[in-house]
Each structure stands twice: as structure tokens, then as C-alpha cells.
Amino acid sequence: MGRGRVELKRIENKINRQVTFSKRRNGLLKKAYELSVLCDAEVALIIFSSRGKVYEFGSAGITKTLERYQRCCFTPQDNSIERETQSWYQEVTKLKAKYESLQRTQRHLLGEDLGPLSVKELQNLEKQLEGALALARQRKTQIMFEQMEDLRKKECHLGELNKQLKYKLEAEGQSLAIQDLWNSGAADGNSNFALHPSQSNPLDCDPGPVLQIGYHHFVQAEGSSVPRSMAIETNFMQGWIL
């Protein structure tokens, strides 16, 4: 049967705990020595027992290894600054090369410095220019269509405003025509009742025919040859029978 898996926990038995510590301590020291010899590694090992005893191993010396450890642990900032500076330098170099490449491409697109280019590069440049020209024309057409649509909408809006103003003017014209007609009619009616220029006083007008009812005493003028009885008959009119 194989060895079962040992549960890692504190050994309660004091004797067993001491025996296990001695065995594993020796094995750990042996492994550290083997690692330093086989792999040419600088190994330092320090062990403190529960009773306060110290056990150590150093392939190059504990003190030397601890000093090296302190230099690595307490001065990491210098190394990080150096690495960061190197990284930034590389990044600047890349950006500078990219900038120069973009400048060359821009000059080529403007038709400058075409001498060093080969036929294939010139063909690629021609394709790029044709593609850019097609995109520019497409965008230009789209903008023109959008402007035409906006102008069409404005035209419809102005047409509606024109119709509204036309209806409003027609309504106002009709109302003004009716008012003028009313004013002219009123002026004609007042003229029918106006006084004649020659009449200074309404009471001075010529009397019309007078209807005489009843008996009127006739006085015959002197020297008249008309019989009195005829004069009476002529001017006498019998009254109305009620």
C-alpha cells in the first residue's frame, strides 16, 4: 500500500513534534546544499526552532547573502526608474520612426519626393489616391443631397406660410370691401336727405297743393263780373261724410 497523504497541521504530541522537526530540518538543509551545488545558486537558509535555537546554511555566507538581499529589497526604486526610462526611450524611438513615416507618406500623397519610389509603390500610391478621391466624391454627394433635402423642407415651409398670408390678405380685403360698400351706402343715404344749396331755411319751401275741406268764404273782388252764386259753387266742397 502507498503512503497516505499527511494532513498539515500542528503536531500536538511534543515528542513527535520534536522528532519530526529534527528529520525535516536535516532534510531541508540537505536540499539547500544540493540546490546550491547542482544549480550554482546562492542559497541561504535560517531556521529557528520552537525553543529558540537557530540553524543556518549559506552557500556564500549568510552575511553576504543577507547584504545582497537588502540591496535588492531596499533599492528597487533605482532599478524601476532605470527600466521605466529604458521603456520610455524605446517608446519615443518608435513614435519618432512612425512620425517620419507619416511625413513621407504625406509628401508622397502631395506628389513630392516620388523619385525614390518603385513602380509597385507608385501603383499602391495611385490606388490610395483613387480610393480617397472616391470617398471624397461620395461624401460630397451625400452632403449635397442633405442640403437639397433641407432646401426642399424650407420651400414647403415657406409655401405654407405664403398660403396662410394669402388667405389672411383675402379675408382682410373682403372685410375692407364690405366696409367701403357700407360707407358709400351711408354717404348716398345722407345725400338724399341733404338740403338743397339754394334753400337756406327748410320752412321757405314752396307749398304743395292744398286740399280744402269745408266751407270757405269767398270774397268777390270789386268789379268782377262773375256771378256770386257761381263763385260759391266753385269754391264750396262738401265735407266728408263720417
Report pLDDT digits (tens) over 182-195.
Answer: 777 656 555 444 44
Which letter does DSSP use for residue 214 in this model? B
pLDDT greater than 70 at residue 141: yes
Average pLDDT taken over every residue of the chain: 76
Element at 45 (helix H, strand E): strand 44-48
pLDDT greater than 80 at residue 68: yes
Contact assessment for residue 65 and residue 46, using Cβ atoms and an 8 Å cutoff: no
Q: Minimum mean pLDDT among 43-52, 67-76, 94-103, 154-163: which range?
A: 67-76
Percentage of residues of the chain with pLDDT beyond 70? 70
pTM listed for this prediction: 0.33
Indicate the domain borders of the chain.
14-75, 79-116, 117-179
How many Å apart are CA 126 and CA 141, to the nearest integer?
A: 22
With a CB cutoff of 8 Å and minimum separation 6, the contacts of 20 are 11
Q: Assign 62 to helix, strand or coil.
A: helix
Question: What's the pLDDT at 153?
Answer: 93
Contact assessment for residue 125 and residue 117, using Cβ atoms and an 8 Å cutoff: yes
Question: What's the pLDDT at 237?
Answer: 47
How many Å apart are CA 205 and CA 214, to the nearest integer?
A: 26
Report pLDDT digits (tens) over 227-242.
Answer: 554 444 444 444 444 4
Report pLDDT digits (tens) over 166-219.
Answer: 888 888 877 777 777 777 765 655 544 444 444 444 445 455 555 555 544 445
How many Å apart are CA 164 and CA 167, to the nearest integer?
A: 5
CA-based nearest residue to 108, from 136, 135, 129: 129
How many Å apart are CA 82 and CA 207, to the nearest integer?
A: 138
Element at 58 (helix H, strand E): strand 54-58
Q: What are phi and psi of 45, to 5 degrees?
A: -135, 130
Angle at 134 between CA 113 and CA 152, to 5 degrees: 135
Domain 14-75 superfamily per CATH: Transcription factor, MADS-box (3.40.1810.10)
CA-based nearest residue to 61, from 83, 36, 85: 36
